[in-house]
Amino acid sequence: MLTAADYEKVLKFNSFINKDFDHYIPNILYALEEYFALRLTAYTVVNRDAQDKTYVESIHSNAILPEVLTRYQNSYFDTDLFNQRLGDVSNAGRAKFVYTITDVGTYEEYYATEYGRMQKKQNLPFQAVIRGSHKRRLPDHVLNIFKAGQDGDFNTYEIELLNCIGRVYSDSVELYKRYLESSSYSRFLDYQTYAENMGMAIVNDRNHVVYRNDYFLRTASALFDTEGVYSAIISLFSAFSQQNGTTPSKFYEPASITVRDHVITINPQRIFDGETLQKYLFITLRRQGAAEAEANSQHLQLGDAFNFTLRESEIAGLLVEGRDNAQIAADLCINISTVKFHIKNIFRKLGVTKRSAAIVRLIR
């Protein structure tokens, strides 16, 4: 039976985890330990790939060894009975939020799996699972809570408390997903706004063109002697495949080709659409030489507008193009720590604290 003190802790937990979505996962792990002494916890994000197969997108813990987490992500996830069977037992209603080993099978079945044997070897033989997304709506944010062998399995009181935590956590995850969706959509619009100064198209993972501007359509059609945006995209993808040895749908890093004095770049990005992370290909097209002149002009404008140094102007321009720190470092032949130093100065001069907010300021 939960006490008033238990409910007070749950209320504090709820308040703490919902106050800062920029640091959501670390805050969850901290709060579980701080309020409930649940240190042996892993936060797992489960998603589905293009072949409709579930996989571990990321896994985090403050207490479990990194090599154990990596083995689970790369090898043992497929043999985890919770992963295999939880979808069949968790759709009965909104009253149940926590599941233990006996909800998905017997102890004998659990310890007969590779995953179960690994957990027993690590002295983490008892597990409870709280799912953030009801009815297996992916990506799912799963809390895996473990107990050591000497502490015994979860008792009735602990399950009741975890169920109460799960109710709060499930609602919080929905808010977190909306936050991610809003941030991703803002970034999506940022790309569209910036695209007015170049040819640009955005293609989703089903090869549907979800955005293109007139400059892209006119120029790509002329370069590849085609009519219509889809014919241009097919020819463009074929040119990339011939040069890179693989289709653009399999790109995980930006790639560029030159076609008749025009530089065409494909930059793969993952955007959260409210339920899953979808892959998009951002295609930019600019005349060689004009791109450099435009970049130099933009650097001067940024320097005048925000009192940037020349290096800060170069980095700000690459930020707007969606480059991450490693890509910026490679483009400018500087190390990542130097990039971070300049970005910190850029944020300070712009009066922002986040990358998305900086991009919005820079393109307006």
DSSP per residue, 45-82? EEEE-TTS-EEEEEEE-SSS-HHHHHHIIIIIGGG-HH
- Looking at the structure, tell me whether residues 16 and 149 fall in a common domain: yes
Contact status, residue 144 vs residue 131, Cβ threshold 8 Å: no
- Looking at the structure, tell me whether residues 236 and 293 fall in a common domain: no
Report the distance separating Cα 329 and Cα 327, nearest Å.
5
- Residue 83 — pLDDT band, cuts 50, 70, 90? confident
CB atoms under 10 Å from CB of 245, counted, come to 8
- Residue 194: predicted pLDDT: 53
Helical ranges in 74-155 per DSSP H: 81-89, 101-104, 107-112, 114-121
Q: The tokens of 76 are what?
A: 């043992």
Q: Residue 84: how many CA atoms within 13 Å on its side-chain side?
A: 14
pLDDT tens for 51-74 read: 678 888 889 999 998 888 888 988
Q: Residue 211: is its pLDDT beyond 90?
A: no
Q: Residue 44: is its pLDDT beyond 70?
A: yes
Is residue 192, in this structure, part of any structural domain at all? no
Is residue 191, in this structure, part of any structural domain at all? no
- Residue 293 — pLDDT band, cuts 50, 70, 90? very low
For 349, the domain range is 289-364
pLDDT tens for 226-266 read: 888 888 999 999 999 988 888 888 887 788 898 888 889 88
Q: The tokens of 66 are what?
A: 């990194």
- Looking at the structure, tell me whether residues 128 and 212 fall in a common domain: no
- What percent of the chain has a predicted confidence (pLDDT) above 90? 30
Tell me how far the alpha carbon of residue 17 is from its chain's centroid: 19
- Looking at the structure, tell me whether residues 9 and 29 fall in a common domain: yes
pLDDT tens for 140-156 read: 899 999 999 999 999 99
- Looking at the structure, tell me whether residues 167 and 219 fall in a common domain: no
Q: Residue 191: is its pLDDT beyond 60?
A: no
What is the average per-residue pLDDT within 286-314?
Answer: 64
- Looking at the structure, tell me whether residues 38 and 134 fall in a common domain: yes
Q: Residue 14: is its pLDDT beyond 80?
A: yes
The CA-based dihedral angle spanning residues 88, 273, 322, 329, taken in that order and rounded to the nearest 10 degrees: -10
Most confident of 18-22, 131-135, 147-151, 337-341: 147-151
Question: End of a domain among 151, 181, 211?
Answer: 181
Q: Residue 108: is its pLDDT beyond 90?
A: yes
Using alpha carbons, select from 238, 239, 244 the residue that is nearest to residue 260. Answer: 239
- Looking at the structure, tell me whether residues 156 and 216 fall in a common domain: no
- Residue 154: predicted pLDDT: 95
Is residue 187, in this structure, part of any structural domain at all? no
Query: Which CATH number belongs to the domain containing residue 25 in this structure?
Result: 3.30.450.80
Is residue 126, in this structure, part of any structural domain at all? yes
* SS3 annotation, 295-317: HHHHHHHHHHHHCCCHHHHHHHH
Query: Which CATH number belongs to the domain containing residue 223 in this structure?
Result: 3.30.450.20
Supply the mean pLDDT for the chain: 82
**What's the number of domains the chain is made of?**
3
- Looking at the structure, tell me whether residues 141 and 209 fall in a common domain: no
- Looking at the structure, tell me whether residues 143 and 163 fall in a common domain: yes
- Looking at the structure, tell me whether residues 52 and 176 fall in a common domain: yes
Question: End of a domain among 136, 152, 181?
Answer: 181
Is residue 189, in this structure, part of any structural domain at all? no
Report the distance separating Cα 278 and Cα 50, nearest Å.
9
Specify the residue for token string 């602990």.
158
Tell me how far the alpha carbon of residue 209 is from its chain's centroid: 22
